């Protein structure tokens, strides 16, 4: 059984701050191969909240965040939104299963969700730009590898400090 707390109490502030921070990370000036290899921080945080707090982050929230990502990346409007909404739906559906697993097993469960999001994003990119790069799928693998540290970080941020009283 995982050490995670199912339905831990989360506030809108935690969700908003973590999504804003992920958006800022995605806006860093990535260039060249680094741009293709960059992890999708926003997708990762959205997936985390859709699994650990499905009552707070649903498909509609993911769609809205995706539209913001589309505007920020100057990409086709709806490209991120569609991919994020599909991924959040998968996270909402599988949230009970994923919460029962340890972090390594969770990574194996969320990788197909991230991969489907990347495939959808790549398909739209290919249809619009008539170009395709396999490097984006390495970014997908890197995103999945960040699941473990992100989960530990977000679970410990919302947790109250341990009682320091020695008695």
pTM (predicted TM-score): 0.86
pLDDT in tens, 107-117: 999 999 999 99
Q: d(Cα 94, Cα 77) in Å, to the nearest integer?
A: 28
Secondary structure (3-state) at 135:
helix
The pLDDT, as a whole number, for residue 8 is 54
Q: What is the Rg, in whole angstroms, of the alpha carbon atoms belonging to the chain? A: 16
Q: d(Cα 29, Cα 11) in Å, to the nearest integer?
A: 30
The pLDDT, as a whole number, for residue 2 is 45
Q: d(Cα 34, Cα 36) in Å, to the nearest integer?
A: 5
Give the count of beta carbons closer than 10 Å to the beta carbon of residue 131: 8
Percentage of residues in the chain having pLDDT higher than 70: 89
Instruction: Pick 88 or 162 by higher pLDDT.
Output: 88
pLDDT in tens, 121-153: 888 878 888 877 777 788 899 999 999 999 999
């Amino acid at each position: 059984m995982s050490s995670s707390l199912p339905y831990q109490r989360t506030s809108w502030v935690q969700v908003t701050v973590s999504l804003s921070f992920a958006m800022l990370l995605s806006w860093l000036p990535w260039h060249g191969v680094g741009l293709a290899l960059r992890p999708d921080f926003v997708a990762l945080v959205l997936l985390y909240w859709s699994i650990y707090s499905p009552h707070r982050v649903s498909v509609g929230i993911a769609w809205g965040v995706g539209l913001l990502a589309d505007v920020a990346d100057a990409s086709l409007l709806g490209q991120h939104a569609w991919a994020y909404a599909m991924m959040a739906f998968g996270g909402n559906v599988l949230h009970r299963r994923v919460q029962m697993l340890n972090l390594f097993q969770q990574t194996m469960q969320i990788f197909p969700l991230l991969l489907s999001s990347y495939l959808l994003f790549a398909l739209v990119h290919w249809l619009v730009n008539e170009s395709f790069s396999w490097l984006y799928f390495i970014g997908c693998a890197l995103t999945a590898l960040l699941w473990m540290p992100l989960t530990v970080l977000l679970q410990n941020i919302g947790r109250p400090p341990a009682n320091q009283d020695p008695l």
